[in-house]
Each structure stands twice: as structure tokens, then as C-alpha cells.
Structure 1
Amino acid sequence: MPGWAENRREAADEARWHDRLAELVDFRAEGNDWPRHHDFESEREHTLGVWIHTQRYKRRRTDLDPVKVQLLDAAVPGWQAGRTRGRPPRR
């Protein structure tokens, strides 16, 4: 059977990752600031906020695939710094 060895969960996770990236690009293109995972205004913002928070966390731990880092850098520059208004700069 063709494709029997394919890991369906892994393929679904990969597709979801790319869908979230596209949703984040759209969210930012609409003029929104970076989505928040706390104190969010919509379920969409919360979903994207949790997702980008997880990507930043994985990046800091060097657990994020370098190809995904490049895709994020190209699609949404500044994703690693995120929202800075209203809080003191990092030291």
C-alpha cells in the first residue's frame, strides 16, 4: 500500500504549522500588533498568540527546526522580539 509508512499525525502537525504561519501573516497584514496569549481580544488572537509564544520558546531552547526559523523570519520579520509596547525593554 502506498503511503502506509507515512506518519499521519506528523503530516497533520506540519500542515497545521504552515496554516498557523499563514494565519499570522494575515493577522499582521490586517494592521494588528503581535497576537497575545494572555489578555486577548478574540479566540483567533489567542490561538495565534499561543502558537507564536510556543515558536519563540522553542527557538530559545534551540528546539525549533532551522527551516521553520527561516520561514518565520521571511514571513513575519521581528517575530522573535514580538510586542514591546507597554513593558520595559529586556536587559
Structure 2
Amino acid sequence: MPGRPGGATTGREAADEARSHGRLAGLVAFRQEGNDWPRHHDYDSEREHTLGVWIHVQRYKRRRGGLDPVKVKLLDDAVPGWQAGRTRGRPPPQ
């Protein structure tokens, strides 16, 4: 994290970090409940939308090289396959 000289962070940075950890925990729980990757469009609930927007932004930052490597590792460890997400088209038959 960039933070301030000497490693100090602002209140906003700390809040952003806490929110990110909360979103990651929420995504882990969402997937453990048997759900597919959350959508940021055509979502079924506010929870799915919130998580869908968050993971969409993480993927975007990762593709552009702007996601902190520590966050990439956290995502890789907690929710393998997060970078690929849903496959396009119709969901597979169940």
C-alpha cells in the first residue's frame, strides 16, 4: 500500500482497506454458498451487485497492472479462478 512516509495511512486508506477485506470475505461466502461469480449487471440481489462491481474492478485493475500484488495473492488464495470469472453465454445445464 502506498500510504504515507513511514508506513502511516490516512483514515480513508484504512477504511478502503477494511472495505476491501470485507468484500473479499463476502465473495468467499457467496461462492461457498454454491453461487456462480457475482454479476455487476443483471444481478439478482443488492449483495450480488455489490460483490459483482467489486470483483469487476479488481479484474480491471489486474488486467491494467494496477492491482497490488498482495491483493492478487489474497484473491488467488481465497477464490481461485477469480480472474476468469463466468464464462460468456448460457450457463451450463444442471
TM-score band, normalised by shorter chain: 0.7 to 0.9
> Mind listing any 5+ residue stretches in structure 1 that lack a counterpart?
none
Residues 1:22 and 2:20 aligned together:
no
Cα distance per residue 1:21-41 (max 9 Å; x no partner): 000000000000000000000
Please tell me the root mean square deviation across aligned C-alpha atoms, in Å: 1.2
Query: Of 37, 40, 53, which residue of structure 2 is paired with 1:37?
Result: 40
Aligned residue runs from structure 1 range 1-91, under 5 A: 6-86=9-89
Match of 2:3 in 1: none
Q: TM-score, normalised on structure 2? A: 0.85
**What is the rounded CA distance, in whole Å, between the counterparts of 2:10 and 2:60 in structure 1?**
25
**What is the rounded CA distance, in whole Å, between the counterparts of 2:53 and 2:9 in structure 1?**
28
Corresponding pairs, count:
83
**What is the rounded CA distance, in whole Å, between the counterparts of 1:59 and 1:7 in structure 2?**
24
After superposing on structure 2, the runs of 4+ consecutive aligned residues of structure 1 that deviate more than 4 Å are none
Percent sequence identity is: 82
Cα distance per residue 1:28-82 (max 9 Å; x no partner): 0000000000000000000000000000000000000000000000000000000
> Mind listing any 5+ residue stretches in structure 2 that lack a counterpart?
1-7
Q: TM-score, normalised on structure 1? A: 0.87
Shift of 1:86: 1.8
Letter in 1 for 2:86: R
